[in-house]
Amino acid sequence: TLCQTCMFSKHLWCASVVVLAGRSHFVACMTAILNQMGDQHYSFYIETFQTNSELVDFLMETFIMFKDLIGKNVYPVDWMAMSMVQNRVFLRAINKFAETMNQKFLEHTNFECQLWNNYFHLAVAFITQDSLQLEQFSHAKYNKILNKYGDMRRLIGFSIRDMWYKLGQNKICFIPGMVGPILEMTLIPEAELRKATIPIFFDMMLCEYQRSGDFKKVKNEARISRHTVSAPGHELTALPSAHSLMECAGEHPTIAKSVENFVNLVKGLLEKLLDYRGVMTDESKDNRMSCTVNLLNFYKDNNREEMYIRYLYKLRDLHLDCDNYTEAAYTLLLHTWLLKWSDEQCASQVMQTGQQHPQTHRQLKETLYETIIGYFDKGKMWEEAISLCKELAEQYEMEVFDYELLSQNLIQQAKFYENIMKILRPKPDYFAVGYYGQGFPSFLRNKVFIYRGKEYERREDFQMQLMSQFPNAEKMNTTSAPGDAVKNAPGQYIQCFTVQPVLDEHPRLKNKPVPDQIINFYKSNHVQRFHYSRPVRRGTVDPENEFASMWIERTSFMTAYKLPGILRWFEVVHMSQTTISPLENAIETMSTANEKILMMINQYQSDESLPINPLSMLLNGIVDPAVMGGFAKYEKAFFTEEYIRDHPEDQDKLNRLKDLIAWQIPFLGAGIKIHEKRVSDNLRPFHDRMEECFKNLKVKVEKEYGVREMPDFDDRRVGRPRSMLRSYRQMSIISLASMNSDCSTPSKTTSESFDLELAPPRTARVELEEPISPGSTLPEVKLRRSKKRTKRSSVVFADEKSAAESDLKRLSRKHEFMSDTNLSEHAAIPPKASILSQMSFASQSMPTIPALTLSVAGMPGLDEANTSPRLSQTFFHLSDGDKKTLKRKKVNQFFKTMLASKSAEEGKQIPDSLSTDL
């Protein structure tokens, strides 16, 4: 009977290998037979094998069958009794077969590496199966299973430990293959089991260290990602595991430091993987993107290219699902940085995800570039697309000599350049978001992020969408940073407000004529610094004049990376605060208003199809005291004897404010002239009323602050196509630091200010040249040929002054005194400033105008024609060609005079090359 039972069970095991899935009655019969077998039956059955090779084959097939039955349970999930009985029977059989392995296949001559490998993988599969994770069951079920069957994980765990230490010198055969399975065991949240299994992992490190002097294989094969995401452990698992590992390392000082570094590495990865596992089923794709980027950065820092690229494409797919084409392009661009322009075959770890056939670096990189250019095109990031097109064009022209592809590439570039100049790109808003409270996950908790909004996305809509992701969160109504009480609270608190991007200096734009369509891109892209301003009251508050006590508290934010990037948001890594005085606030307000008028003048001058309403509202709001009150409140607050006596250090700022007020008159006059040409008959009374108010305002201002003159804003460009969106300020020079104003549409209010460089006043009386104040900053004008001047009549110059040094700031969109501003400290003029820098027409408030259209007054060394109010008014009965020639000669004469004065002052000769026509 015993022999028949054994032979039957032998055949049944072999048959079960084939039909193990879906035939539960076969498995039940086999389990029942094994349950009836005692120790003698197992011993007798083992002896029936005539050779060791037959026994090895039997044991290996049995281990494989057991592993498959554990992974593919043939019983329904709720048949817990059958599963537990099967596990108890299998555990007894595994332990009996392990004894056979120790007796017959452990010695060096008879050691069977593959058999032992199968045993360890079976044991790990047994210990990590779902039916044995008692922590997931209810308390009653947990106690019932524990009382009847015990915790079988401990038993098999102790057996694995004993079997491992019996290997001796053969341990090295399982490094690094068993690193992953052993790590998976250490993640089980059972204290006794972890205490038994963590020393195994440390012993692997020690074994490799003793063999080769390091444990690189163990570190490289610690692929926790594949196990942790599906592991039954929880967030608290990492800390005890790390502590136990450090205790093991304490007994080996030579390896302790390396183990500590490795433990910190594993802990960091484990935390990120647990966060990733927590948001895998989350509806919020933003959270999934954040966790994916955290893993990206980790694998990049640890040179794990295969894992790095895998998560790159996961992030790319998330962006495409959300139509974030710009972010998808930046994400895919990271893959191209791992490739070279060569015909070398790609290694497997840098191949594109899903790529079947091998490719060279050049082929893969070219394919990726084409995809990325398409993404940038959809995201209206044509500047970025052009840079990639240029790199491809260089390869087509200089390396592969494919002129057909080169021609297609150049046509594509030309289209992108045209899009930049003709297609309106809405300026995105940026929002600061703070997540406070212990209720948020670790990658958000008590952190501040800057988010890039989508096209035309309002803060209210963005905030509503943000709150929908955290329905239990409470919205904070203050913009100041919360205290520790809120940060340590168990709940969730979200803070959201709009911030203004600050343009960084671009050296290639210095002192060059740059159209606003180009500059506008850099005002809201490639930005890393942001400002938020809020008004605060200090001192005595005058209820009739709030500007006298209106201070601005400005908070500056620095993000970890520039926006846009591989995410629509990045964490704030640095914050600082500054305070702006009421007088500086007034200067910002006037500077912003003047700049806005200039922008609208240029825009309406360039595009006759624009509606007149935005211009009407802007002009009437300034010239009609009944609407906005004008600048009268500034005069009452700052232009008093009491204020001058109490604040003598503000004299330069007061002069600047007066200069800005004086320059507003010619700006308004130019705007009203345009308004008069376009106003409809039904709005004619409105225009007449506005013009009457302007005349009264002009008399008052010119009497108090002097006369300023604007150049002629007629468009003199001949033969150049009109862009949909022209430069807002024709023929002007602005500093690079001032390029953070809003320049999209005339109906959109500005949110930042320009650092205007204005000309000195020309009062009604004959005055001498005004001295330049020590606080002014004047750009040095470069000489250019006349042809380039005429071709670039609608461009602006970028000053050398960096954005960080600028202290002219911007005011709020809703209230002039509540906006973000960018006041800067003006550097003093050196004692030996050039004559060209001290010309009377180049004061610190009026944008400097090129000499072609500049109205020059009282400059020494100029003939009578040059001192007329308009250079164009000196030409009467001349042909167009004669006019251009004469005008060029007079402009050249003007600049020669300036250079002669400068050279005389510095004791230098004028170069011969400048004696020809410019």
Judge whether 336 lies within some domain: yes
Query: Is the separation of the CB atoms in 202 and 144 below 8 Å?
Result: no
Query: What tens digit of pLDDT does each residue of 377-416 get?
Result: 999 999 999 999 999 999 999 999 999 999 999 999 999 9
Rounded Cα–Cα distance for residues 180 and 349 (Å)? 19
Q: Does the pLDDT at position 725 exceed 60?
A: no
Q: Does the pLDDT at position 154 exceed 80?
A: yes
Lowest mean pLDDT among 100-104, 244-248, 549-553: 244-248
Question: Would you list the DSSP string of 835-852?
Answer: GGGG-TT--SSSPB--TT
Phi and psi of 883, rounded to 5°?
-60, -45
pLDDT band at 732 (very low <50, low <70, confident <90, very high): very low
Judge whether 752 lies within some domain: no
**DSSP for residue 424:** -
Lowest mean pLDDT among 579-593, 674-688, 869-883: 869-883
Query: Is the separation of the CB atoms in 812 and 820 below 8 Å?
Result: yes
Which pLDDT score is estimated for 269?
Answer: 78
3-state DSSP percent of the chain in helix, strand and coil, to 5: 55, 10, 35
786 against 208, higher pLDDT? 208
- Label residues 575-609 b or e (16+ Cβ within 10 Å = b): eeeeebbbbbbbbbbbbbbbbbbbbbbbbbbbeee
- Label residues 233-250 b or e (16+ Cβ within 10 Å = b): beeebbeebbebbeebbe
**Strand boundaries in 328-481, DSSP class E:** 430-436, 447-452, 474-475
Query: What tens digit of pLDDT does each residue of 749-778 get?
Result: 333 333 333 344 444 433 333 333 333 333
Determine the Cα angle at 182 with ends 179 and 184, to 5°: 110
Task: Note whether 564 and 636 are same-domain residues.
Answer: no
Task: Note whether 558 and 589 are same-domain residues.
Answer: no
Task: Note whether 330 and 355 are same-domain residues.
Answer: yes
What is the average pLDDT across 328-357?
84
Which pLDDT score is estimated for 892?
Answer: 52
What is the average pLDDT across 565-582?
93
Query: Is the separation of the CB atoms in 241 and 202 below 8 Å?
Result: no
Task: Note whether 511 and 491 are same-domain residues.
Answer: yes
Determine the Cα angle at 614 with ends 609 and 618, to 5°: 135
The residue with tokens 């009491």 is 642
Q: Does the pLDDT at position 107 exceed 90?
A: no
- Label residues 418-451 b or e (16+ Cβ within 10 Å = b): ebbbeeebebbbbbbbbbbbebbbebbebebbbb
Judge whether 183 lies within some domain: no
Last residue of a domain, one of 553, 580, 607: 580
pLDDT band at 831 (very low <50, low <70, confident <90, very high): very low
Indicate the SS3 state at residue 2: helix
Query: Is the separation of the CB atoms in 479 and 534 below 8 Å?
Result: yes
Sign of CA dihedral 288, 290, 293, 294: negative
pLDDT band at 839 (very low <50, low <70, confident <90, very high): very low
Indicate the SS3 state at residue 500: strand
Task: Note whether 416 and 437 are same-domain residues.
Answer: no
Query: What tens digit of pLDDT does each residue of 44-79 get?
Result: 999 999 899 999 999 999 999 999 998 888 888 888
Which amino acid would we find at residue 210? Q
What is the average pLDDT across 363-380?
95
Instruction: Kindly state the helix (H) or strand (E) to which residue 33 belongs, with its residue range.
Output: helix 24-36
Which pLDDT score is estimated for 222?
Answer: 67
Instruction: List the one residue out of 774, 776, 734, 773 whose CA is nearest residue 755.
Output: 734
Task: Note whether 406 and 449 are same-domain residues.
Answer: no
Question: Would you list the DSSP string of 528-582?
Answer: EEEEEEEEEE-S---TT-GGGGEEEEEEEEEEEEEESSSSSEEEEEEEEEEEE-H
For 801, the token pair is: 């002054």
Q: Does the pLDDT at position 268 exceed 70?
A: yes
Left (φ > 0), alpha (ψ -120 to 50) or beta: where does 292 sit?
Answer: alpha
Judge whether 158 lies within some domain: yes
Rounded Cα–Cα distance for residues 72 and 748 (Å)? 64
Query: What tens digit of pLDDT does each residue of 7-22 get?
Result: 444 544 444 444 444 4
What is the average pLDDT across 190-195?
81
- Label residues 263-287 b or e (16+ Cβ within 10 Å = b): beebeebbbbbbbbbbbeeeeebbb
For 761, the token pair is: 């006043």
User: CB burial class (10 A; 0-12, 13-18, 19+) of residue 12?
Assistant: middle
What is the average pLDDT across 556-576?
95
Judge whether 804 lies within some domain: no
Sign of CA dihedral 193, 199, 203, 209: positive
Contacts (Cβ under 8 Å, ≥6 apart) of 507: none
Q: Strand pairing of 569-580 and 732-734? A: unpaired
Task: Note whether 73 and 142 are same-domain residues.
Answer: yes
Rounded Cα–Cα distance for residues 324 and 288 (Å)? 14
Judge whether 341 lies within some domain: yes
Indicate the SS3 state at residue 79: coil
714 against 450, higher pLDDT? 450
CA atoms within 13 A on the CB side of 806: 28
Which pLDDT score is estimated for 243?
Answer: 66
Indicate the SS3 state at residue 606: helix
Rounded Cα–Cα distance for residues 144 and 140 (Å)? 6
677 against 543, higher pLDDT? 677
Most confident range, picked from 137-151, 216-230, 530-544:
137-151
DSSP bridge pairs for 733: 797, 848
- Label residues 96-126 b or e (16+ Cβ within 10 Å = b): bbbebbeebbbeeeebbeebbbbbbbbbbbb
Distances (CA, A) of 655 to 272, 573, 649, 695: 57, 39, 12, 23
CATH of residue 591: 1.20.58.740
Domain count, the chain: 4
622 against 385, higher pLDDT? 385
For the chain, the residue count is: 918
Which amino acid would we find at residue 369? Y
Q: What is the pTM of this model?
A: 0.64
Most confident range, picked from 238-242, 312-316, 615-619:
312-316
Edge-first strand order for the sheet with 796-798 is 513-514, 796-798, 732-734
pLDDT band at 870 (very low <50, low <70, confident <90, very high): very low
Query: What tens digit of pLDDT does each residue of 173-185 get?
Result: 998 888 888 878 8
Which pLDDT score is estimated for 888?
Answer: 52
For 622, the token pair is: 């300034």
**What proportion of the chain, given as a percentage, has pLDDT over 70?**
71
Task: Note whether 590 and 575 are same-domain residues.
Answer: no
Which amino acid would we find at residue 507? P
Lowest mean pLDDT among 436-445, 589-598, 820-829, 891-900: 820-829
Query: Is the separation of the CB atoms in 497 and 431 below 8 Å?
Result: yes
The number of beta carbons lying within 10 Å of the beta carbon of residue 648 is 7
Judge whether 468 lies within some domain: yes
Most confident range, picked from 602-616, 629-643, 686-700, 701-715:
686-700
Rounded Cα–Cα distance for residues 359 and 339 (Å)? 11
Which pLDDT score is estimated for 324?
Answer: 95
Sign of CA dihedral 227, 231, 234, 240: negative
CATH of residue 296: 1.25.40.410
Rounded Cα–Cα distance for residues 392 and 227 (Å)? 41
Alpha helices by DSSP H, listed for 74-131, are 80-104, 113-127
Judge whether 149 lies within some domain: yes
Alpha helices by DSSP H, listed for 423-515, are 459-469, 484-487
Contacts (Cβ under 8 Å, ≥6 apart) of 358: 345, 346, 351
Mean pLDDT of the chain: 75
Contacts (Cβ under 8 Å, ≥6 apart) of 347: none
Task: Note whether 576 and 589 are same-domain residues.
Answer: no
Task: Note whether 308 and 380 are same-domain residues.
Answer: yes
Task: Note whether 544 and 589 are same-domain residues.
Answer: no
Q: Which domain holds residue 613?
A: 585-712
What is the average pLDDT across 200-219?
84
Last residue of a domain, one of 692, 712, 732: 712
Which amino acid would we find at residue 4? Q
The number of beta carbons lying within 10 Å of the beta carbon of residue 880 is 9
The residue with tokens 């281990």 is 63
Task: Note whether 620 and 568 are same-domain residues.
Answer: no
Last residue of a domain, one of 676, 694, 712: 712
Phi and psi of 586, rounded to 5°?
-65, -40
- Label residues 398-415 b or e (16+ Cβ within 10 Å = b): eeeeeeebbeebeebbee
